[in-house]
């Protein structure tokens, strides 16, 4: 009987540790994403933020594995839990799933925002370069015309 009760306690401890691991992981990801969500700044800064967001997105499968582990362990804990405790665990898992979906959406939105900003930077730099070439070209033509005007008698 005592061994059975110890198993029940261990299943709850494992669930709680798994829950905490996932929650800590997702909180850290959200903090990192939040630091990258400001699209203002120089092109290089925006590019670095985008690279960081892409790395977070690449790490999402790890988060999904942590979530699935928490869900699996919650099922084991639910088998040995009273109704009130079941409601609490089910609510916790529901909240973890919501947090997971929110993180995925934040990653997607932040990546899209930074890509749009970076695209605007490339457009700006391309336009600026074209304008500079145009100014140099017409500046040269203007100087040629000024030389001709100085030579030509009035």
pLDDT tens for each residue of the chain, 154 residues long? 888 888 888 999 999 999 999 999 999 999 999 999 888 889 899 999 999 999 999 999 999 999 999 999 999 899 888 888 899 999 999 999 999 999 999 999 999 999 999 999 988 888 989 898 888 888 877 777 777 666 655 5
Write down the domain spans for the chain: 2-125
11 φ, ψ to 5°?
-65, -35
DSSP string, 11-73: HHHHHHHHHHHHHHHHHHHHHHHHHH----S-HHHHHHHHHHHHHHHHTHHHHHHHHHHHHHH
Q: What is the pLDDT of residue 136?
A: 86
Q: What is the pLDDT of residue 59?
A: 95
DSSP state of 81: -
As a CATH number, domain 2-125 is: 1.20.58.60
Q: What is the pLDDT of residue 149?
A: 66
The model carries a pTM of 0.79
Q: What is the pLDDT of residue 139?
A: 82
Q: Tokens 């005592």 label which residue?
A: 2
Nearest residue to 15 via CA among 82, 93, 97, 101: 93
């Amino acid at each position: 009987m005592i061994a059975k009760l110890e198993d029940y306690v261990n299943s709850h401890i494992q669930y709680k540790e798994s829950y905490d691991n996932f929650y800590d992981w997702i909180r850290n990801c959200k903090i990192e994403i939040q630091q990258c969500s400001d699209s203002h700044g120089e092109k290089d800064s925006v590019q670095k933020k985008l690279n960081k967001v892409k790395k977070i997105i690449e790490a999402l499968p790890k988060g999904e594995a942590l979530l699935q582990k928490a869900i699996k362990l919650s099922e084991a804990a639910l088998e040995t839990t009273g109704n009130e405790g079941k409601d609490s665990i089910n609510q916790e898992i529901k909240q973890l799933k919501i947090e997971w979906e929110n993180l995925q959406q934040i990653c997607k939105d932040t990546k899209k925002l930074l890509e749009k900003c970076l695209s605007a930077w490339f457009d700006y730099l391309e336009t600026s370069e074209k304008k500079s070439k145009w100014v140099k070209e017409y500046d040269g033509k203007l100087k040629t015309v000024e030389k001709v005007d100085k030579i030509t008698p009035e």
